[in-house]
Structure 1
């Protein structure tokens, strides 16, 4: 019984190797599927028997399974029916944040014979979040000398949804002085800008209270509100002006906390208290507030926490210069985070055969994939094993490798091999990761009995 099992295992390894020769032609173009977020678990995605053109029971016979990076599976495969089902209810915002589209990549692995199919599952957003203002009460101090047509950027609302379900426009309650415009930033987010249509008169109306509403484009639409309190102040007729409206800087991601990014500078031609300037972050998200700080007197912008290129590559930091008379000027600091080689390569073993029969022709030992979160040269990878072993590491698909025997093994000569897979990136300094595999050589009846004496 045991000998029969070993023979089947050996035949299986031969078949895996034969199919591996044509592996580069399988699954080059990923198959694409989609599911709406919050769909209940075990919902149907597709039928792999029909998709792959296989027989009804071929999936189970060939040991089909679904694999993904880090072995975190959001899908499950019914090998009897071929149905690919959701493993759980998916939350698009939890999986991808504001990234759009939200695509989860996975592979379908057929073990016997070995074959890969690349696939992608797009999680489609639903309008399950309303716009929210971080500051629901805003105070604006506007000089009565402000001319009609002047604009005042307001703090924006935030919406976890994406696409048309994100913020579409802003409206303001009816009044005689202001209207609101919806502006779009370089990253696609929208913010409100208050426009003065009619000159203010502090003596007639010293303050105004307006309701600002953020509306998304979902169906049905959702909205959030904030209150704007406008205090009309007496003449301070010159607002601070920055030397340049836009600053562009580049920062290595390993810059230390306290690193000086840039110094912004504004001037005010007014004298006395009306000419004293104070700097601060403006329209800053929680992430920007945690990452940057500006000195209120000098305008020096420094790092508050370590940067991570793999998480965020670009920041748009808005700075406000406000004088003692409460007039203000704005500038933008576009900060690009530069990658450094701070992530070691990762190795994921998708399939592994621990026991190899001796005297077998070339056999497949393991199938593995490698990846590196860094970019450009820092993300390029070399993969190797020790030179003194009867094994070869062959490249198949991009970033996929197959470990095979170089020649038939002899258990009587060596019954066990320790294989170290070394993955090294091309960055500076070079980082490497090692993964150890232990392979044992199974005995076959290839030696006749021999007497110790003739």
Structure 2
């Protein structure tokens, strides 16, 4: 309603044309409504203020503290500058209303005030008021008129108006004419209500009395103080030319599309003159043509065709008002008004301006976080000026518009730098013209990393092998973890996990940067063959994230233990004697050397050799079992006591050895047992051996059951004494001759640690049995040796069947 009332008031009070009134009224209404709707800050100021003049206090008008403008990095542009310390909006350059708004009724400029952290935009509306800073100026300094002396009294001669860029009361308000007898000055009104001066003939001209009349005309504006401009009027009195050119109409209207080609005819003006000859020849020209229009529109002086002579742009001016004069050959002239409306075409692409943008967006940003502020506008009008804006599809961003022509780019989903570290968002602005024009701008957005991914080991479990006795600092293994985060969040430090047993954690050390693991002590396979340690990888984020892997460390054996002889017991004071019948045949089992090696595998495989004997070639020893047998029958010349030195060597790369001294006594009257013969009853033994092999193979196929039975057997037999037969008269070996650290479990090594040595020690043959006890000594062994030989010989026959059943277990133990 207000807008309609404003249109009506402008029409009747200013006598303006309806199109001009409507455009100006709606422009004012739009600005007022925009101010009310969006809370714009409006300031009214006169033009030509000095630089640094205060327009208003932004901080006060926004209800903010003065220091807030500085902390939020407030800024504006173009004509104004902001003093963030005081909050004052200052003039930054000369403001010339006529240059900015030309002849527009209202000169309203709109700028943006941007605040960051958080990002906000406000509109600043400046209403530039006019001051009387321009004097009226006539198009030419001298106006020439050729009047026929027969010109009738009261004849009116329109003069070109003085031009004053100022508006309202500051524009031209009156004209004065210098004192003379023939002419008077009166005002005439144009169609648009503007007044122009007319020279009126009040007294008849007499060429013979006065050929020329020189007058002065002053154009005076309504400013305070008033300004004026002067032009000379040179009137030449001619012979009779009593008809002036006459236009077909006082106001001509035409239209032309902007960007029309040069030479395009806009319209043709026509005037007629009833005179003949030179007085009837009409010439057309523009009375007043501004510098801007001088290169855009031209008129043919003879035909009156108005043509396009340059680039005509709707955005610079939507219409042009031109004064056209038609003059005949006698100097008589008439005027008309030409109004050219410029038709807008869709020749301007939408403009995309990034007012503020964040180069990095954290990947944990919540949906709705503002990333950029975009200003989009189109210089065209109507449908050609309506712009729609879109961004790339399938991206976690969207556009939100709360202020006209301004769009906020905000997050619209979950961001994950590890999936996509950056986006190149394409902003597309398309107007509604025909055909539509499109502008495109790419906004790069980098996703900044947060520590949301823990390190990940290449393997959850590592196996490492290391030889025993390696020096401290020996490289063991290298663990590696990766973190898909970036920067410090991906920098990994390694350490032994606190979950690891404190004693175990001291075995190894780790390079915190490379993950290389080194030994912190020397390892002994005989003390420990395996241990487990945990390694933690921790990133450099805040808070840091970590993960753990397991390292299984296996100690590999080296041949660092020499064989130890268990039987016969080696003592500096006494060596046990073994009895053999003097009638013993070739191949008769005399005794057995029992040795063990604390190493394992090949390093624990033992070999036996005789390196010294009282009489050579009487006894032989099995390379693998250590059984000593006769190589021939004894003769009368043989000594009754023989001493044999046996070398026991292991199978290590650099073999270690031990020696055992065996003392053998020949006994008369001792019975010869066929069971102790190596070649006795070969056919029967061959049959029995086949049976035993079948039993052994069956046992191997049932290894699981055998192992369970074995464990159960050892559990029952772990007592103070361990027996393999019920006979109590077996030879006894004191524990003082058997180190407590040796125990045979039939594993990969000969011996492993145990608290006490109380397990069964096999001789490798069913033909000899031994037991160990803690309550025996060397004297007891010496006294009982003879009885042992006799009792053993008698018992072997009775226990043969029982011994044969155990051969399968011995074979498995050997392998």
Interval containing the TM-score (normalised by the shorter chain): 0.7 to 0.9
Structure 1 pair 158/349, CA: closer, same or farther in 2 (3 Å)? Answer: same
1:196 and 2:206 matched: no
Distance 2:331 2:107 in 1: 43
Distance 2:195 2:248 in 1: 26
Residue 329 (structure 1) shift? 3.1
Alignment check: 8 A CA contact 1:260 1:303 kept: yes
Q: Which residue number corresponds to residue 359 of structure 2?
A: 354
Residue 146 (structure 1) shift? 2.3
Question: TM-score, structure 1 length as denominator?
Answer: 0.87
1:214-363 mapped onto 2 (5 Å cutoff): 214-362=219-367, 363=369
Structure 1 pair 101/387, CA: closer, same or farther in 2 (3 Å)? Answer: same
Distance 2:208 2:217 in 1: 25
Alignment check: 8 A CA contact 1:26 1:116 kept: no
SS at the partner of 2:154? coil
SS at the partner of 2:166? coil
Q: Which residue number corresponds to residue 213 of structure 1?
A: 218
Q: Which residue number corresponds to residue 407 of structure 2?
A: 401
Cα deviations across residues 148-192 of structure 1 (Å, max 9, x unaligned)? Answer: 332212123223333322222211101122222344556676532
1:32 to 17, 20, 42: 42
SS at the partner of 1:407? coil
Structure 1 pair 318/49, CA: closer, same or farther in 2 (3 Å)? Answer: closer
Q: Which residue number corresponds to residue 417 of structure 1?
A: 423
Residue 439 (structure 1) shift? 0.5
Residue 412 (structure 1) shift? 0.5
Distance 2:282 2:244 in 1: 10
Distance 2:69 2:292 in 1: 47
Greater share of helix:
2
Q: Which residue number corresponds to residue 721 of structure 2?
A: none
Greater share of strand:
1
Residue 194 (structure 1) shift? 1.6
Q: Which residue number corresponds to residue 370 of structure 2?
A: 364
Range with bigger deviation, 392-401 or 111-120:
111-120
Alignment check: 8 A CA contact 1:27 1:117 kept: no
Residue 413 (structure 1) shift? 0.4
Q: Which residue number corresponds to residue 379 of structure 2?
A: 373
Distance 1:317 1:60 in 2: 51
1:74-85 mapped onto 2 (5 Å cutoff): 74-85=79-90
Structure 1 pair 89/238, CA: closer, same or farther in 2 (3 Å)? Answer: closer
Distance 1:173 1:321 in 2: 26
1:103-118 mapped onto 2 (5 Å cutoff): 103-118=108-123
Distance 1:79 1:442 in 2: 31
Structure 1 pair 314/443, CA: closer, same or farther in 2 (3 Å)? Answer: same
Q: Which residue number corresponds to residue 468 of structure 2?
A: none
Cα deviations across residues 236-294 of structure 1 (Å, max 9, x unaligned)? Answer: 22222233333221111122111112222222222333333333333444444433332
1:453 and 2:459 matched: yes
Q: Which residue number corresponds to residue 65 of structure 1?
A: 74
Distance 1:269 1:185 in 2: 25
Range with bigger deviation, 247-256 or 414-423:
247-256
Distance 2:271 2:256 in 1: 23
1:444 to 447, 450, 464: 450
SS at the partner of 1:157? coil
Q: Which residue number corresponds to residue 157 of structure 1?
A: 162
Name the count of aligned residue pairs.
426
SS at the partner of 1:58? helix
Distance 1:400 1:244 in 2: 48
Structure 1 pair 277/46, CA: closer, same or farther in 2 (3 Å)? Answer: closer
1:176 and 2:186 matched: no
What residue ranges of structure 1 are gaps of 5+ in the alignment?
Answer: 1-23
1:91 and 2:96 matched: yes
Instruction: Report the RMSD for the aligned CA atoms in angstroms.
Output: 2.4
Distance 1:261 1:49 in 2: 53
Structure 1 pair 156/175, CA: closer, same or farther in 2 (3 Å)? Answer: same
Q: Which residue number corresponds to residue 51 of structure 2?
A: 41
Distance 1:189 1:104 in 2: 27
Alignment check: 8 A CA contact 2:346 2:433 kept: yes
SS at the partner of 1:158? coil
Alignment check: 8 A CA contact 2:66 2:84 kept: no
1:52 to 62, 67, 78: 62
Residue 334 (structure 1) shift? 1.9
Q: Which residue number corresponds to residue 614 of structure 2?
A: none
More relative contact order, 1 or 2 (CA 8 Å, 6+ apart): 1
Distance 2:169 2:198 in 1: 21
Structure exhibiting the larger radius of gyration computed from Cα positions: 2
What residue ranges of structure 2 are gaps of 5+ in the alignment?
Answer: 1-33, 461-815
Cα deviations across residues 80-134 of structure 1 (Å, max 9, x unaligned)? Answer: 3222222234333343333343322123333334433322122333322222223
Range with bigger deviation, 299-308 or 83-92:
83-92
1:102 to 107, 128, 135: 107
SS at the partner of 1:132? coil
Cα deviations across residues 350-392 of structure 1 (Å, max 9, x unaligned)? Answer: 2211111012211111011111111101111011111121111
Q: Which residue number corresponds to residue 382 of structure 1?
A: 388
Alignment check: 8 A CA contact 2:355 2:373 kept: yes
SS at the partner of 1:396? strand
Q: Which residue number corresponds to residue 14 of structure 1?
A: none
Cα deviations across residues 300-342 of structure 1 (Å, max 9, x unaligned)? Answer: 2222212111112212233333222222333332211111111
Alignment check: 8 A CA contact 2:103 2:165 kept: yes
